[in-house]
Structure 1
Amino acid sequence: MFYVILFAMIAGFLALRLYSVLGKRTGHEQALPKPAEERVGAQAMPRTIDMTPEVRESANRPIEAGAESGLRAVISADSSFDVAQFVEGSKSAYRMILEAFWKGDEETLAWLVEDEVRGGFAEAIAERKAAGHVLDNRLVAIERAMIIDASVEGKVARITVRFDADIAAVTRDQDGNVVAGSLSDAVETHDIWTFARNLRSDDPNWKLVETDEA
């Protein structure tokens, strides 16, 4: 069972696609805005809580050693937290947010990211429109999603995920002519996104609060 509303939206959205549409920064693509704070929502992995919270990972171990203590704190504060589901959810959120940014879909971004992050996205989208440019990007693959940090500060849980992915990116002008990039060549990108959630809130959503490049 998944407690994040975001996933319900993602499920329907992704059902329309047979491939993942992931986003990354490239030399041809408009860079993601990086205001002081911007992060993405995510989800967690099934586990059992005993006397002492423990982090259980899959064979692929989507957790860096330095993040384990922080994840234990998250699990202690929220016994329903599931690492595996969170990682899968973060991939979907990553895909949806970048696709919305590429398309200039500010309505979708509004419920996926925090206000400050949304402001940065809106500014970048406006600049792109003013230049008469359109992004025609395609996700090739998410090679890896790894939790690299986690913490609980007061009532707020924060989890940082590193995404290593490949995309093909093209920038077109308002007439559809290619200005830069190529859809035939994939470019490696490495992003670090942080998701946050108030654990005492009735709102089950994790939202993007910060983005950066690895």
Structure 2
Amino acid sequence: MVYVVLLAMVAAFLALRLYSVLGKRTGHEQQPLARAAEERPAAVAVPRTIDVAADVREPQNRNIEPKAEAGLRAIISGESGFDVAQFLQGAQAAYRMTLEAFWQGDEGTIAQLAQPDVAHAFGEAIAARREAGETLENRLISIERATIADAVLDGREARIVVRFDADIAAVTRDAEGQVIAGSLTDAVETHDLWTFSRTLKSRDPNWKLADTDEA
């Protein structure tokens, strides 16, 4: 009988200890099930709802300028599968690949990423560089920000302008390998406006570079 009483006392003690630990809120636990209004704390649900809504909206506002919103809505209406976040990821990848291809003189890669007239302009610049005997040793250090600056839908032809704010280390060498411009130790801030185009609902899912300009 004494043994049973001791076990009951130990169980009660452990229960109190568990309650003292698990009953405290740490800020990471799940919310309890909804209770009646008179039992529910008054100021808990509303602040959490506001916080969550702000977290969802903030990335969209940060990456889309107001001027582009109407055009993006039209593009989404024209092709429901269009995703802004995926487009921006692809645009940044295309920005990096196009720059690296241009620096290396890789006209084949540029032809896959850009519209024919843009690829031709890149090709002329590459040819002029080769004729001068110059080579580039450029590196894209980082893309600090990619923002959709404008968007237009004309029939099925969609055009989206992306502003890239990036840091680039650039060096130009002459035919003898001597540095004639730039430095690999000092990155230069660049601000570019690149326009990507695509025919909505076409079999080709890829957006092509249609224009480049300085921001």
Would you call these one fold, judging by a TM-score over 0.5? yes
Match of 1:87 in 2: 88
CA distance in 2 between counterparts of 1:57 and 1:95 reads 26
Residue pairs, 1:129-144, within 5 angstroms: 129-144=130-145
- TM-score scaled by length of structure 2: 0.71
CA distance in 2 between counterparts of 1:57 and 1:210 reads 29
Match of 1:200 in 2: 201
How many percent identity over aligned positions? 65
**For the Cα contact (< 8 Å) 2:136–2:173, is it kept in 1?**
yes
Moved over 6 A (4+): none
**For the Cα contact (< 8 Å) 2:167–2:189, is it kept in 1?**
yes
CA distance in 1 between counterparts of 2:120 and 2:69 reads 32
Q: Spell out, residue by residue over 1:111-133, the C-alpha distance to the aligned partner (whole angstroms, 9 max, x if none).
A: 10000001100100000000000
- Unmatched tracts of structure 1, length 5 or more: 1-55
Structure number with higher relative contact order (C-alpha < 8 Å, ≥ 6 residues apart):
1
Match of 1:213 in 2: 214
User: Are residue 154 (structure 1) and residue 155 (structure 2) matched?
Assistant: yes
Q: CA RMSD in A?
A: 1.3
> Bigger radius of gyration, 1 or 2?
2
- Unmatched tracts of structure 2, length 5 or more: 1-56
Q: Which amino acid aligns with 2:133?
A: G
Match of 1:105 in 2: 106
CA distance in 2 between counterparts of 1:57 and 1:160 reads 20
| CA drift at 1:59 | 5.8
CA distance in 2 between counterparts of 1:70 and 1:57 reads 19
CA distance in 1 between counterparts of 2:91 and 2:201 reads 21
- Matched positions, count: 159
Find the residue that maps to 1:111 and give its secondary structure: helix
Distance 1:152-1:57 versus aligned 2 partners, 3 A rule: farther
- TM-score scaled by length of structure 1: 0.72
Residue pairs, 1:10-159, within 5 angstroms: 58=59, 61-159=62-160
